[in-house]
Amino acid sequence: MKHKPIATQEQREIAINLYRSVWEVRNDGWIHLSDNASRLLDVEARGGDVELARARAAETLDLLEPIESYWAFPGRAGFLRLTGLFQDREYAGFNDLVHRISRALSSQSYRRSFVSLHLDEEAAVEEEERRETEGRVDRGYFEVLVVDEISAQEEETLRERLRSMRREEDKFIYELVVVPSFADALIAVLFNFNLQAVVIRYGFPLKSRYKLDILRQLLEGYEEEGLESLAESERGCLLGTKIAELRPELDLFMVTDVSAEEIAGKLCENFHRVFYREEDDRELHFSILRAIENRYQTPFFTALREYSQQPTGVFHALPISRGKSILQSHWIQDMIQFYGLGVFLAETSATSGGLDSLLEPIGPIKLAQELAARAFGAKRTFWVTNGTSTANKIVVQALIQPGDIVLLDRNCHKSHHYGMVLSGAHVVYLDAYPLNEYSMYGAVPIRSIKQRLLELRRAGKLDRVKLVLLTNCTFDGIVYDVERVMEECLAIKPDMIFLWDEAWFAFAGFHPTYRRRTGMGVAKRLRERFRDPEYRQRYEAFQEEFGEADDEHLLATRLVPDPDRARIRVYVTHSTHKTLTALRQGSMIHVYDQDFKQKVEEAFHEAYMTHTSTSPNYQILASLDVGRRQVELEGYELVQKQVDHAMALRERIATHALLKKYFRFLTTGDLIPKDYRPSGIESYFDSQQRWARMQECWYTDEFVVDPTRLTLYIGPTGIDGDTFKHDYLMQKYGIQINKTSRNTVLFMTNIGTTRSAVAYLIEILVKIALELNERNEDMSPPEMRLHQLKVESLTKRLPALPDFSHFHRFFRCGTDATTPEGDMRKAYFMSYNEAQCRYITMPELQKYVAGGREVVSAMFVIPYPPGFPILVPGQVISKEILAFIEALDTREIHGYRPELGFRVFTDEAVAEAASSTAGGVAAARVAAAEAT
Ligand SMILES: Cc1ncc(COP(=O)(O)O)c(C=O)c1O
């Protein structure tokens, strides 16, 4: 640009940590430019300091120029027109155009209708607008990135050539974005949500011509050394690989002017097709449209819709089908009024014929599940209509036989504990690190997992260890270093199977930072890594140094698995309905198991049959299909916006003077102890340092916090989490939240969260804070003393969270009992026998335990919150557990009856159980003697 930039204070500071994200800079940029343009017009009319107003506008234009080069609208030509008007001092036209673009961007109207960037009175343009609008209505709009160093003239010619191929019947319409270099292509892929396809030309420079910090930060962690030495001819392939890593959903094409046959032979799997220069433009155009259609298709949803339009007579056990039982009713018409007829027209079942069966899919369900597997990076995907509670039980039953050992986070969802009972697993409970100040748990450190595995190895039981089962991310948003956990476990046991309960993490596969820490993302990466010769060398060096090391050294070292022996056997369960578009209970099981066909398929089928309804709800299935389409086409955008909203919320609370008095969002530093945070990052946002880059800790730390889950610490209010949730958020303001602890409430953002929802929550918190101010001011001295005591109990005197004690030796498996695994099923079914159980009250129990007696729980005891089993069947009750239960002020404790107390085994029952166990007779005698 010809004008001389004069940096304002505001713009000079545009640096990495000032803004949450580059999208925010773009939004703000257009808002500033609109203000600048209006002011310019105004100053000119009033005869004020035009040069100053001009300098401001020039700065913003300078900022936006590189940013806009990655988007098709307003596009390079549109932006040039804008700067042309500015340079010609046509301020009225400039102002008009800036506002038009800004409005189109904020309402996204450019996706639906052509936005003219000529000045209004040009009649010819209006004509063009009308034509284009007609062409666009109801068509999916997207953008295609072309990576090539071409002139503006060539760019326009290419654009026109591709535009001329549009046909009336096309379902989609696209516009081009052209970037000249490797770095620009990566920036565009990360920045531009509208991209659905990338066309890589054969040879282009590496570096971007722009030096804007805020754009460079997008590449942090993604750039690699040594690119300079890469021959131009190889850059296209490498760029394809990089893009596939960042946004695997994008369709990639290559256009080359050297022999296309030769390139095609060398091409990596990531490209759909290779074309020879312009001669194949038409083919390229159709391939782009076909590829997006491939992601857009929803085989099952489409089949269901078609089915619902067919006339059928129903002689089947489904009176609601086609709305019949409702339409004929005098009393329940309001159901149709509320839901509409569509949902009932589509009510059907596999046995009524015409549609596929979930239990034995061969048609649209099968195809739709294959598409889901592709989208989520799995080898196989299975839909589940009864939530992840069922998905988890299916996987555990498929993988585990009675007597197999499973390492299980005790703090995981109850479906796993019940899964252990059903499968007869011998369970080694793993303890997550406690966060006593907030009455919640973190996650299980890799060191404790390794410790358990090494113990089992020493005891000669490693061959029975089948599965490591962890929750990623946890309810409170703690995310594992999935890669490290799998690598280190595989180094100890090369055929270890992993079940990652990602009930809360289905969205994570659609963002590159998150995907690095998902079960499916890592499974693929490890498979590739174990084939890499460089990795083999790393393994050999490790083996040389640590091959003979003792357990202490192994615990202190990052272990490297043997690539020839390690198998990738990973299962992931998603509550799709929790974080993506799907009806309640819509879940998925994703499988990436090299040995699935050989070792698991049959058992999996049986387990699936065990738990799957013969009347699955087809609406749920259809929603899973559509939800998959959504994330394959706009998942990246939705996740990034969700992160942005969550970060905005963090910033607001941290900087609001009144809110700070009562509330604070727990930071990474609060939720993850220092030892697990080598990055040293304490917080994504703080008012001094402003923004830390999320990528930094996501690359290095053992645990990270998912920023979209926000735990609000409310200790200083003197109100406990449960009361705050019910009496304040829900009853007064209709805000729904899911989880609380004694002094926290958890807010979850999701892909449906909007800026106004964020603003509403802030408004509510401000109202509550004002109310609390008033309450405190009006307190009498005794009330104030009581209040202070309450605050103290919520902020200082919190009961320590107890570790899992141990299974009673009669439920420990084997006579040596040197390792902690327990047979929970034995204890669980023993408790069905009334004669072997009794109830014991809290005071009585306290007396027994204080006196050194072993009392064994016959039940799961699960306080809500926190929601994990404080006792499981067969577990010895410890004084720490009793102290914790006593200090809890939780309303619900499942498995505990206040009037009767705890259900425990009688001493005789325990002794008898022992005598039936081989080698347990002697122990039984001891126990019987103890009991008397
Ligand atoms: C970690 C975890 N796994 C599984 C489930 C069960 O999922 P669903 O509600 O889909 O049955 C939950 C539910 O909250 C959960 O938190």
Interior angle at CA 678, CA 511 and CA 409, nearest 5: 70
Percent of the chain with pLDDT over 70: 87
Quick one: which atom of ligand 1 is closest to the CA of 392?
4
Torsion from C-alpha of 178, 182, 186, 187, nearest 10 degrees: -70
Cα separation, 751 vs 247, in Å, equals 18
Kindly report, residue by residue over 905-922, the tens digit of the pLDDT: 998 888 777 666 544 444
Residue the block writes with tokens 């040293």: 680
Q: Give me ligand 1 centre to Cα 388, in Å.
A: 5
Confidence tier at 892 by pLDDT (50, 70, 90): confident
Q: Is the pLDDT of residue 275 over 60?
A: yes
Cis (ω within 30 of 0) for the bond into 837? no
CB neighbours (10 Å) of residue 306? 13
Quick one: which atom of ligand 1 is closest to the CA of 575?
10
Residue 631 near residue 738 (C-beta atoms within 8 A): no
pLDDT for the residue numbered 5: 42
Task: Please indicate whether residue 685 or residue 564 has the higher confidence score (pLDDT).
Answer: 564
Q: Give me ligand 1 centre to Cα 13, in Å.
A: 44
Question: Residue 618, exposed/middle/buried by CB under 10 A (0-12, 13-18, 19+)?
Answer: buried
Q: Give me ligand 1 centre to Cα 849, in Å.
A: 34
- For a ligand 1 pocket test, name from 384, 386, 388, 396 the mutation site with the most ligand atoms within 8 angstroms of its C-beta: 388
pLDDT for the residue numbered 270: 83
Quick one: which atom of ligand 1 is closest to the CA of 391?
11
Quick one: which atom of ligand 1 is closest to the CA of 474?
1
Interior angle at CA 294, CA 269 and CA 521, nearest 5: 50
Quick one: which atom of ligand 1 is closest to the CA of 475?
16
> Where are the alpha helices (H) located in 516-617, listed in sequence order?
519-530, 533-546, 551-555, 576-579, 601-611
- For a ligand 1 pocket test, name from 384, 395, 413 the mutation site with the most ligand atoms within 8 angstroms of its C-beta: 413
Q: Give me ligand 1 centre to Cα 300, in Å.
A: 25
Rounded mean pLDDT, 317-341 = 87
Residue 470 near residue 501 (C-beta atoms within 8 A): yes
Q: Is the pLDDT of residue 449 over 70?
A: yes
Closest residue by Cα to atom 9, ligand 1, is: 387
Quick one: which atom of ligand 1 is closest to the CA of 386?
11
Q: Give me ligand 1 centre to Cα 801, in Å.
A: 22
Residue whose C-alpha is closest to residue 375's, from 482, 472, 247:
247
DSSP states of 498-512: EEEE-TT-GGGGGSH
pLDDT for the residue numbered 278: 64
Kindly report, residue by residue over 237-258, the tens digit of the pLDDT: 888 988 999 999 999 998 887 7
Q: Give me ligand 1 centre to Cα 387, in Å.
A: 7
Q: Give me ligand 1 centre to Cα 735, in Å.
A: 21
- For a ligand 1 pocket test, name from 393, 578, 737 the mutation site with the most ligand atoms within 8 angstroms of its C-beta: 578
Q: Give me ligand 1 centre to Cα 238, in Å.
A: 39
- For a ligand 1 pocket test, name from 383, 386, 389 the mutation site with the most ligand atoms within 8 angstroms of its C-beta: 389
Q: Where is 908: in which H helix or E strand?
A: helix 907-916
Q: Is the pLDDT of residue 360 over 70?
A: yes
Least confident of 144-148, 418-422, 683-687, 838-842: 683-687
Q: Is 331 helix (H, G, I), strand (E, B) or coil?
A: coil
Q: Rounded to a whole number, what is the largest CA-CA distance in the chain?
A: 104
Cα separation, 410 vs 417, in Å, equals 8
Kindly report, residue by residue over 29-73, the tens digit of the pLDDT: 999 999 999 999 999 999 889 999 999 999 999 999 999 999 999
Token representation of residue 82: 């804008």
pLDDT for the residue numbered 152: 87
Q: Is the pLDDT of residue 446 over 90?
A: yes
Phi/psi for 809 (5° steps) reads: -60, -25
Q: Give me ligand 1 centre to Cα 578, in Å.
A: 9
CB neighbours (10 Å) of residue 420? 25
Rounded mean pLDDT, 860-864 = 86
Q: Give me ligand 1 centre to Cα 868, in Å.
A: 12
- For a ligand 1 pocket test, name from 383, 504, 575 the mutation site with the most ligand atoms within 8 angstroms of its C-beta: 575
Q: Is 93 helix (H, G, I), strand (E, B) or coil?
A: helix
pLDDT for the residue numbered 226: 63
Q: Which amino acid is at 401?
A: Q
Quick one: which atom of ligand 1 is closest to the CA of 389?
11
- Mean of the per-residue pLDDT values of the chain: 88
Cα separation, 566 vs 8, in Å, equals 58
Kindly report, residue by residue over 289-305, the tens digit of the pLDDT: 999 999 999 999 999 99
- For a ligand 1 pocket test, name from 386, 415, 611, 746 the mutation site with the most ligand atoms within 8 angstroms of its C-beta: 415
Rounded mean pLDDT, 156-166 = 90
Percent of the chain with pLDDT over 90: 64
Q: Give me ligand 1 centre to Cα 164, in Å.
A: 51
Task: Please indicate whether residue 57 or residue 439 has the higher confidence score (pLDDT).
Answer: 57
Residue whose C-alpha is closest to residue 889's, from 683, 743, 755, 680:
743
Q: Where is 587: in which H helix or E strand?
A: strand 587-593
Residue whose C-alpha is closest to residue 180's, from 228, 223, 147:
147
Pocket of ligand 1 (CB under 6 A): 387-389, 413, 415, 471, 475, 501, 503, 575, 587
Q: Is the pLDDT of residue 353 over 70?
A: no
Q: Is 427 helix (H, G, I), strand (E, B) or coil?
A: strand
Q: Give me ligand 1 centre to Cα 409, in Å.
A: 14
Q: Is the pLDDT of residue 814 over 70?
A: no
Cα separation, 159 vs 147, in Å, equals 13
- CA atoms 195, 196, 199, 205: torsion sign: positive
Quick one: which atom of ligand 1 is closest to the CA of 738?
14
Rounded mean pLDDT, 595-605 = 97
DSSP states of 784-824: HHHHHHHHHHHHT--PPPPPP--B-TTTBSSSS--S--EEH
Kindly report, residue by residue over 819-832, the tens digit of the pLDDT: 999 999 999 999 99
Q: Give me ligand 1 centre to Cα 645, in Å.
A: 24
Token representation of residue 645: 């909203």
Q: Which amino acid is at 352?
A: S
Cis (ω within 30 of 0) for the bond into 74? yes
Confidence tier at 889 by pLDDT (50, 70, 90): low
pLDDT for the residue numbered 183: 87
Residue the block writes with tokens 């080069």: 69
Confidence tier at 623 by pLDDT (50, 70, 90): very high
